[in-house]
Amino acid sequence: MIEAGKHRARALHAELGLTKNGFEQIGIEFELLDLPGQRISYYGVFTGGAQEWTIKAMRTAGFRGTDITDMSSLTGETPEVLLVVEHEKYERRVRAKVKFVNTMGGVSMKDPLSGDRAKAFAAKMKGVFLSDERSNGGGTKTQAPKRQAQRTVPKGVAPKAASTQGAELADDDIPF
């Protein structure tokens, strides 16, 4: 069984069909590039909210055009994709299933921020980043900020409130 996780792949071919409940679906067979000789199929349906995800998977795998009966763009030289494979129990057996067909590299947001909304968020965060820059010497350090030296107080001796302001407490001084 193909291991759960992310796998590089290319579409080999695709076919339209029906689910056991009579709904239209597509099956796309992928060759796993990181597991030579291994293949796995993605199945997507064209019902309800799943249709959007099925079309996205088809486009990511290389489908071009608008004629769904012409699957020639899903054969031959197709783009490399990243499949997310999960294990699921189906009819009392565990099997590997393609959960997502993703593009290689980069970042893909379901709902990207842009325009006025991105500008408003940037304005909201500006103070946070300014504070971070000041505390990290201009924001150019790649190391974690240094901790202040811990001040220890002998056990059984309560520190004076005024003398502990701004200082970190030792582990023994933390009340939990």
* Residue showing tokens 């009819």: 91
Give the residue extent of every domain in the chain: 8-79
Q: Model confidence over 96-133: pLDDT tens digits? A: 999 999 998 766 666 777 788 888 888 888 888 888 77
pTM for the structure as a whole: 0.61
| CA 73 vs CA 12, 76, 101, 108: distances in Å | 10, 8, 16, 23
Res 171 pLDDT > 50: no
Q: What is the residue type of 93?
A: R
Q: Model confidence over 69-101: pLDDT tens digits? A: 999 999 989 999 999 999 999 889 999 999 999
